[in-house]
Amino acid sequence: MPALPLDEAGKYVAGAYVVFVALILVYVAIIGAKIARIDRQISELVASEDDE
């Protein structure tokens, strides 16, 4: 097959790299949410520690 013209090819290449970046971002977001939750639970723990 002859190579696609640049504007068409560009869409596919962009799509592929977007997939890559999106995966990383989604993953980091999930880990970030997990860490935020852990932080919150730690401060809850510390707070109830202070109450006693």
Partner 1 sequence: MHSKGLAPLAAATAVTITAALAMVFFYAPNDADQGFVQKIFYIHVPMAIVALCGFVAGGVFAIQHLRSGDSSWDLRSYVAIHLSIILGVGVLATGSIWARASWGHWWVWDEPVLVSFLIVFLLYCVYYPLRFSIEDPGRQARYSSVFAIAAGAFVPLNFTAVRMAESFTHPRVLSQTGGDLPGDMRLTFLVSLLGVALLFVTLWKLELTAKHASMQLKRLRNERLRNRARVAA
Answer yes or no: are the C-beta atoms of 4 and 12 closer than 8 Å.
yes
Angle at 29 between CA 26 and CA 33, to 5 degrees: 140
* Minimum separation from the CB atom of position 4 to partner 1 (A): 6
- Closest distance between partner 1 and the C-beta of residue 20, in Å? 5
- Residue 42 is which amino acid? I
Min dist CB 9 to partner 1, Å, is 4
Give the residue from 28, 2, 4 showing the smallest Cα distance to 15.
Answer: 4
Which residues sit at the interface with partner 1, rule CB under 8 A?
A: 1, 3-4, 6, 9-10, 12-13, 15-17, 19-20, 23-24, 27-28, 31, 34-35, 38, 41-42, 45, 49
